[in-house]
Structure 1
Amino acid sequence: MRELARNSLIILGLIIPLLLAGCGGPPQNNPLLMEARQSYDKAEQDSMIVMKAPVALKEAEEALEQSQQLWEEGADRNLIEHYAYIANQKTRIARETAELNAAQDEVEQAESERKQVLIEARRAEAIAAERRAEDALQLVKEERAEAERARKEASELAERLSEMEARQSERGMVLTLSDVLFDFDSSTLNAGANKVVNELAGFLKNYPERTVHIEGFTDSIGSAEYNKNLSQRRADALKQALIQAGISSQRIETVGYGEEYPVATNMNEAGRQQNRRVEVIISNENGVVSQRTE
């Protein structure tokens, strides 16, 4: 019985955390929000700040509550930290404002010249702190705008590649062109290739940081040397077409693999047709295309 009870406790110890995890819970603590809360709590306990800067302290409280509410709702982390940062800065301004007001009260009891000097010094300090806060907030806005611009650019890039029927691979986005763009046993692009060339050239003009790696392939009919030469000539033909469309040759690399790296069987015509292809690998934003490994 004792062993049964012990096993039951172990099972319960495993099941309860799983049940709790399934029920969800509050998001993980946000360090910047916790820092803002500690800073505000400390200011709220300072009687001088409460008496001398109640309005500024209230503004800090409102910003903190906004950040706390967003955190509890599981909002975007950047938005939570944006309001937490504002709360932290407003708490700091409240403290400095309280110090300024306290100093003003002290100065009023002293000679007028000393009073004016201290007031101006404190005022300049408060203004500088406020300006620093405003500059920091502006920086946050600019960073968010830059992030949004990058997100939009990535979305447009994905949409454009999708329109070109490119697929994702470990080496990057790959556009596969069948041999119907070439006449039989020829490396001359036919008229049907113009649409593909224009689309690819237009894409490269819109994204000048991108480069392409053009790889030619054949089926296994004929000698390996002949097939490799034919695949190279076909890759070069596509390169020349892109150059004529206004793309710099420095952004285009070609290689002919011949009958290497088949994607289907060479035992029937359907498979051989799939192997007769040209693949265009589009680089990442740094212009780099990974080397083929298989």
Structure 2
Amino acid sequence: MKIKSIIIISLLFLLISCASNQPSLILNEAENQYESARMIKGIFNTDAQKMGEAKEALGKAKQLQENNKDKYLVDHYATISIKNTEIAQERHRLKQTELEIEEANKKRQQLLLQARSQEVKSARMEAMKLAAELDALQAEQTERGIILTLENIVFAFNSAMLQPNGDRTVARIAQYLNDYPQRHILVEGFTDNIGSEAYNLELSRQRAEAVEQSLIRHGVDSRRVGIVGLGEAYPIASNETNAGRQKNRRVEIVIANQDGRNILGR
């Protein structure tokens, strides 16, 4: 009976010994994960500390395994290695995402700068074209906008009828205005000082309407055009002579300096 007990105890020790010598699956996983992480470019630059801790824990687990130590201890250090490796990998992924976002923002800024540069270039080209056309139309740049004083659009005394040569001038201006379809326009009518103030205000408005209708006939969107009659105010010549009064019987077109901007009154 005593011999039988000794045999049983010996078998138990043998089984325990064999169990402790079994390879740890967690250790294998830790080795594979650490080797995979180690091959990731730049991971040691991102988190050298966690990679170092993972390597150290992995070394302890392997040493315990070789020394046939308790499998629990082997698995414990292998698990620590896995956790540190995962932390290093996750931090590296986050760092790469941050770098990608930073690079995307740089590219976005470059595209915005390129677009802005193109806008400036287009604006300069438009300004050059505008300057050339305005020079031909004898325009004046003011804070209110670009003022075209239509000296050859003159009206007969007590008349708001647009003369044929005046209509041709308006057609030319309409062609120019249609190149800038977003700019508002104000047509201002004027008279000489003969007649009552109230009558002259109405007559000046009728003259502004005559030019407005001509602009619309030549393709200018009516929603862009405003009119106002200013009567005998703001003369550009003396009303003491026939020639001066004829110059004062005029229409001026004000073009907004920028797209969509309203035109200030006098």
- Range moving further from structure 2, 200-209 or 217-226: 217-226
SS class of match (1:260): coil
Structure-2 residue corresponding to 1:247: 220
Q: Aligned AA for 1:290?
A: L
Structure-1 residue corresponding to 2:151: 178
For residues 248-290 of structure 1, the C-alpha deviation after alignment (integer angstroms, 9 at most, x for no partner) is 3332222222222222222223332332211111123224111
Structure-2 residue corresponding to 1:102: 45
Q: Is 1:290 aligned with 2:264?
A: yes
Q: Aligned AA for 1:279?
A: E
Q: Is 1:278 aligned with 2:251?
A: yes
Contact in 1 for aligned 2:154/2:250 (Cα 8 Å)? no
Contact in 1 for aligned 2:155/2:249 (Cα 8 Å)? no
Percent identity between the two aligned chains: 36
Structure-1 residue corresponding to 2:89: 117
Question: Which whole-Å CA distance do the structure 1 matches of 2:225 and 2:46 have between them?
Answer: 70
Contact in 1 for aligned 2:47/2:92 (Cα 8 Å)? no
* Structure 1 residue 233 displacement after superposition: 1.8
Question: Which whole-Å CA distance do the structure 2 matches of 1:200 and 1:234 have between them?
Answer: 16
Structure-1 residue corresponding to 2:240: 267
Question: Which whole-Å CA distance do the structure 2 matches of 1:155 and 1:125 have between them?
Answer: 45
Structure-1 residue corresponding to 2:200: 227
Structure-2 residue corresponding to 1:148: 121
* Structure 1 residue 160 displacement after superposition: 2.8
Question: Which whole-Å CA distance do the structure 2 matches of 1:233 and 1:126 have between them?
Answer: 67
Question: Which whole-Å CA distance do the structure 2 matches of 1:104 and 1:225 have between them?
Answer: 86
Contact in 1 for aligned 2:186/2:225 (Cα 8 Å)? yes
5 Å-filtered alignment, 1:1-294, equals 102-103=45-46, 107=51, 110=55, 114=85, 117=89, 121=93, 122-178=95-151, 180-284=153-257, 285-292=259-266
Question: Which whole-Å CA distance do the structure 2 matches of 1:221 and 1:243 have between them?
Answer: 30
Contact in 1 for aligned 2:155/2:246 (Cα 8 Å)? no
Instruction: Name the Cα RMSD after superposition.
Output: 3.2
Contact in 1 for aligned 2:186/2:253 (Cα 8 Å)? yes
Distance 1:225 1:124, change over 3 A: closer
Question: Which whole-Å CA distance do the structure 2 matches of 1:272 and 1:166 have between them?
Answer: 21
Q: What are structure 2's unaligned runs of at least 5 residues?
A: 1-40, 59-80
Q: Which has the larger radius of gyration?
A: 2
SS class of match (1:288): coil
Q: Aligned AA for 1:205?
A: N
Distance 1:243 1:119, change over 3 A: closer
Contact in 2 for aligned 1:204/1:211 (Cα 8 Å)? no
* Structure 1 residue 173 displacement after superposition: 0.9
Distance 1:259 1:102, change over 3 A: closer
* Structure 1 residue 137 displacement after superposition: 2.8
Contact in 2 for aligned 1:165/1:175 (Cα 8 Å)? yes
Please give the TM-score of this superposition, normalised by the length of structure 1. 0.55
Contact in 2 for aligned 1:232/1:257 (Cα 8 Å)? yes
Q: Aligned AA for 1:216?
A: G
Distance 1:135 1:100, change over 3 A: farther
SS class of match (1:266): coil
Contact in 2 for aligned 1:164/1:199 (Cα 8 Å)? no
* Structure 1 residue 149 displacement after superposition: 2.9
Please give the TM-score of this superposition, normalised by the length of structure 2. 0.60
Q: Aligned AA for 2:263?
A: V
* Structure 1 residue 159 displacement after superposition: 3.1
SS class of match (1:178): coil
